[in-house]
Amino acid sequence: IPALVAAIQPKLTKSRVQWLDLLKQTFAESVPLASSSDLQQFADLIKMARAANANGRDSESESLLRQALELQIRLLGESNSAIADTLMDLALVLSNRGRKDEAEALFSRAETIVQASAKESDRARLFAYYGFHAANHGNFDGGLSAARNAVNSWRKVLIAPKAESILMGGNSTES
């Protein structure tokens, strides 16, 4: 949308602020305006955080995920569904480091966002991360229960498109 505004603005008489107000009215909320450098910075932070985590550099991974989360919140707000993944990643890193209470606080924030999500894959990922978190802290029954919930959610993700195809007259033997 920012590129669209930049492209049409010189041709029209409205100022940038007027266009942003029009977008806000159209979408009934603030429109996040992220530059391509913001998006690249976020992608780089996540990539580096995951690499650090995979290589056992938990402190570095935590720091990078915190930076990514701060950037997302600045651009999108506290409750935007896009930040749930970053919250879950950071929560699991903290859980892996034995910081149970901090991890649970972040999982709770992510859960609030995920509950409002229409995507079953968000719930599946949250259940899976809860399973790892429970196992990290010796709650193996809780971890197994969360893992089962994750599997059930992933099954819904995989079955839904096939069921929709069948209901719409598609061939049930197609994969």
Please give the Cα distance from 43 to 137 (Å, whole number): 30
Task: Give the position of tokens 């996040």.
Answer: 32
Confidence of residue 159 (pLDDT cuts 50, 70, 90): confident
State residue 127's pLDDT score. Answer: 97
Residue entry with tokens 């041709």: 11
* Rounded average pLDDT over 9-22: 64
**pLDDT band at residue 40 under the 50/70/90 scheme:** very high
- What is residue 77's predicted lDDT score, i.e. its pLDDT? 85
Taking residues 66-77, what's their average pLDDT? 92
Of 18-27, 81-90, 121-130, the one with minimum mean pLDDT is 18-27
pLDDT digits (tens, 9 = 90+) for 118-130: 899 999 999 999 9
Give the chain as a 3 state SS string.
Answer: CHHHHHHHHHHCCCCHHHHHHHHHHHHCCCCCCCCHHHHHHHHHHHHHHHHHHHCCCHHHHHHHHHHHHHHHHHHHCCCCCCHHHHHHHHHHHHHHCCCHHHHHHHHHHHHHHHHCCCCHHHHHHHHHHHHHHHHHCCCHHHHHHHHHHHHHHHHHHHHHHHHHHHHCCCCCCCC
